[in-house]
């Protein structure tokens, strides 16, 4: 065999190794979640992981149906709305995931925000959830005392975002851009709904958070009231060691 042939063979082996090693690492951690326990210990590791497929989820609305393929190959930061109501704790958890994703900086493109909606919800109610998800961070980030009080009021599901408030929050920004949400809303099939519900004997609580790896494994969860900085710490570590997604 000539030197050039040997070089070509080594190059092919190298390229193959670079493409398959990250997936082998992810598989190893999936089968041996205890290997992560000393490093990513803010959330609760799910062992064994709950495996899902993209086909286990359908889009809650047209936007989500159009973007549902984004679930594949990305790390997913997942809220769950277990009933047909999203109370203050539920909505606050949604807003925290926006904060977490922005804090990832250069790793942001490797992640997606997802909310799993368990029950049927009338559009008048769900539209308010997504409006608040898109806009309420503008009140939260405002240090004005009146804004803080208004933010707390708007977390209550019974208080709707009226057009005057929407216009005030958007200000001079482009309205279509301001209302554009990166949150992909999905409905699970019965099998996934049952598996997730069984994680907690008392059912899924409002405000719980899950992490799903790029292979579709639900592998970590956080209780309501989670600290976004601790979730970001765990996720940053997982992104660093996996190199996939």
What pLDDT is attached to residue 83?
94
> Does some domain include residue 45?
yes
Q: What domain count does the chain have? A: 1
Answer whether 0.85 is exceeded by the pTM. no
Task: Tell whether 5 is covered by a domain.
Answer: no
CATH of the domain at 71: 3.40.30.10
Is 191 contained in some domain?
Answer: yes
Identify the pLDDT of residue 181: 85
pLDDT of residue 84: 94
Q: Give tens-digit pLDDT for 182-239.
A: 999 999 999 999 999 988 776 889 999 999 999 999 999 999 999 999 999 999 999 9
Question: Does a structural domain hold residue 204?
Answer: yes
- Per the domain annotation, does 18 fall within a domain? no
Which pLDDT score is estimated for 65? 96
In a domain? residue 171: yes
| pLDDT single digits (tens) 5-47 | 555 566 555 455 445 555 555 555 555 555 444 455 688 999 8
Region of poorest pLDDT, from 35-49, 62-76, 91-105, 153-167: 35-49
Instruction: State which residues form the domain around 137.
Output: 32-242
Tell me the H-state helices in 47-189.
62-67, 88-103, 123-135, 137-140, 145-154, 163-170, 175-179
3-state DSSP call for residue 77?
A: strand
Q: How far is CA 180 from CA 103, 115, 128, in A?
A: 19, 16, 14
């Amino acid at each position: 065999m000539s030197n050039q042939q040997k070089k070509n063979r080594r190059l092919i082996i190298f390229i193959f190794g670079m493409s398959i090693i990250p997936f082998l690492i992810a598989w190893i951690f999936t089968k041996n979640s205890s290997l992560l326990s000393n490093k990513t210990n803010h959330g609760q590791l799910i062992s064994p992981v709950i495996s899902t497929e993209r086909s286990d989820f359908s889009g809650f609305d047209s936007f989500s149906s159009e973007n549902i393929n984004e679930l594949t190959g990305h790390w997913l930061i997942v809220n769950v709305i277990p009933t047909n109501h999203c109370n203050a704790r539920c909505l606050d958890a949604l807003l925290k995931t926006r904060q977490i994703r922005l804090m990832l900086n250069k790793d942001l493109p490797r992640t997606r925000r997802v909310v799993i909606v368990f029950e049927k919800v009338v559009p008048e109610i769900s539209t308010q959830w997504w409006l608040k998800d898109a806009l309420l961070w503008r009140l939260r980030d405002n240090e004005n005392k009146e804004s803080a009080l208004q933010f707390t009021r708007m977390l209550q599901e019974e208080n709707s975002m009226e057009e005057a408030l929407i216009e005030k929050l958007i200000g001079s920004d482009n309205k279509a851009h301001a209302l554009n949400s990166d949150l992909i809303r999905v409905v699970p099939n019965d099998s996934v709904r049952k598996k997730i519900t069984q994680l907690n004997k008392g059912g899924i609580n409002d405000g719980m958070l899950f992490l799903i790896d790029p292979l579709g494994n639900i592998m970590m969860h956080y209780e309501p009231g989670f600290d976004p900085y601790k979730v970001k710490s765990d996720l940053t570590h997982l992104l660093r060691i996996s190199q996939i997604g």
